[in-house]
Amino acid sequence: MENTEAIGEPLKLVLYIAGQTPKSVAAIENLERICASTPGRYAVEVIDLKASPQLAREHNIVAIPTLVRQLPVPIRKIIGDLSDKEKVLVHLKIGN
């Protein structure tokens, strides 16, 4: 686990969704729950690809919802509604 708190940098997480679909809403709620229950500082941004479809290509998003850990590098991605908290934490290498 990278200890971003020690160097004062928040984890930068970007969640890509497409409108208010059930999976998109679930992903937002699950991400909020993960951030609230996991120690650390997070900078979270939600990008709706229905409003900005060109960002899907620019940011290499092939499925939605997709959560991207942009900082610290390397960039890591996970696709889905983020309902499995442990899988999200392990895959993105965040939390404990």
User: Which CATH number fits the domain that encloses residue 35?
Assistant: 3.40.30.10
Whether 58 has a pLDDT exceeding 60, the answer reads yes
With residue 91 as reference, give the H or E element that holds it. helix 85-92
Q: What's the number of domains the chain is made of?
A: 1
Query: 61-82: per-residue pLDDT in tens?
Result: 999 999 999 999 999 999 999 9
Beta bridge partners of 44: 13
Q: How far apart are CA 5 and CA 95, in angstroms?
A: 11
Domain that holds residue 83: 11-92
Q: Do the domain assignments include residue 3?
A: no
The amino acid that residue 49 corresponds to is L
* pTM of the predicted protein model: 0.86
Q: Do the domain assignments include residue 36?
A: yes
Q: Do the domain assignments include residue 20?
A: yes
Q: Do the domain assignments include residue 1?
A: no
Q: Do the domain assignments include residue 23?
A: yes
Residue that is written with structure tokens 């899907």 in the block = 56
Q: Do the domain assignments include residue 60?
A: yes
φ/ψ (deg, to 5) at 17: -130, 175
Q: Do the domain assignments include residue 4?
A: no
